[in-house]
Amino acid sequence: MQTKAALPILFVVMFLVMVGFGIIIPVLPFYAEEIGASPTELGLLMAVYSFMQLIFAPMWGRLSDRIGRKPVMMIGITGLALSFYIQAISTELWMLFAARIIGGTLSSANMPTAMAYVADITTEENRGKGMGIVGAAVGLGFVFGPAIGGIFSKISLSMPFYLASGSSLITLILVFLLLKESKLNKNDSIEKRRSIWGAFNRDVAVLFFVQLLISLSLSGLEATFAYFAAKKAGLNSTELGYIFMIMGFVGAMVQGGLVGRMTKKYGEPSVIQVGIIVSALGFGLILLVNSFTTAAIFLSIFGIGNGVIRPSVSSLLTKTSTAGHGSATGLLSSFDSLGRIIGPPLGGWLFSLAIGLPYISGVIISMAALILFFLFRPQVSTVKTTNMQN
């Protein structure tokens, strides 16, 4: 009963969190430019957010193991509201940087804590379904958020930031009133939580590196696809917005509807491998883009593969890690952030050499992740046992 009541609430919370985050995505570059940011400073403004998440996500995850998920999640959402408000009132570039640093530091609590919450309240059999539901909420938030931000930016460039701050405050109230504290695993001893790196051990290390490689290749695509599509198919920004919206919907539907069934029937290791293969196929097909239709289809294929990987990796990690759920998911978020820091400049550099190189490298990186996972994947007897019982 706790799972049935909590998962829909968590879905709404993470959806609203990501809507607020997504609202500012299309506006921030123009807003920063209006204040006086150069292209290099804009890049640093984007990178500093991911860098703070890289550092602090494991700390928040570990703290949630000690004091509970709800208070840490409320800290993360408060950080978002504060960050958006400071950005809204910014008149100097240093204020934007301060806001991004605050936002990256505090909001890095949200994703690992949400994933740990799911792990707390679900059985191992239904873990993949729960992770998929959270992943779907995140995906849909990124679909609706930028569209809302684009609409309200016509009023003023600061309006989306005020809107995102207000949305975050509403989300904070919902968490306070509706979300109950999860039942922490009493078997998670203090010894298991002693070190932030306690979740990183030989048995599960491959999952962190797989997430790093997948995040790296995805962020490289996101940084270069607009230029690639414009050159190959003459697509404009509006058409690209629709394409990414289609990709987001498809990915969210797969995460919310299929991940749970697939992991329950075949187990997380098999789903991760299939996801990586489909993702690599999507990268290869992107090289053949020549129209709006082919771009939408090929990016959706990529989105399907990429969309099943993170929930399945999170599910498998919380089943196999000997650390607390928060410590494990926090460290996973840190590796994801590292990929998002490295990916855009790497993708941009490869694009400058040849426009197809980011996607060729995406295939290579995906296959490297597949081989790495195949050779060193965790052996989970509980997954096998569950599947045999079904």
pLDDT value of position 2:
56
List the structure tokens of 143: 């679909």
Enumerate residues 6+ apart whose C-beta is below 8 A from 366.
213, 214, 217, 276, 277, 279, 280, 283
pLDDT value of position 90:
94
pLDDT surpasses 60 at 234: yes
Q: What is the pLDDT of residues 66-103, one digit of tens each?
A: 999 999 999 999 999 999 999 999 999 999 999 999 99
Chain centre to alpha carbon of residue 124: 22
Q: What is the pLDDT of residues 107-140, one digit of tens each?
A: 999 999 999 999 999 988 889 999 999 999 999 9
Q: What is the pTM of this model?
A: 0.86
Q: How far apart are CA 242 and CA 273, in angstroms?
A: 29
Instruction: Give the lowest-confidence range in 75-84, 190-199, 368-377, 379-388.
Output: 379-388
pLDDT value of position 189:
43
Instruction: Give the lowest-confidence range in 78-82, 95-99, 270-274, 324-328.
Output: 324-328
Determine contact, residues 209/317, Cβ cutoff 8 Å: no
Q: What is the pLDDT of residues 152-210, one digit of tens each?
A: 988 999 999 999 999 999 999 999 999 998 865 544 444 444 556 666 777 789 999 99
The mean pLDDT of 4-29, rounded to a whole number, is 89
pLDDT value of position 365:
97
The mean pLDDT of 355-383, rounded to a whole number, is 87
Determine contact, residues 247/285, Cβ cutoff 8 Å: no
Neighbours of 381 (CB within 10 A): 7
> Best-predicted range by mean pLDDT among 5-9, 28-32, 271-275?
271-275
- Report the chain's mean pLDDT, rounded to a whole number: 88
Q: What is the pLDDT of residues 21-60, one digit of tens each?
A: 889 988 888 899 899 888 788 878 888 998 999 999 999 9
pLDDT value of position 188:
47
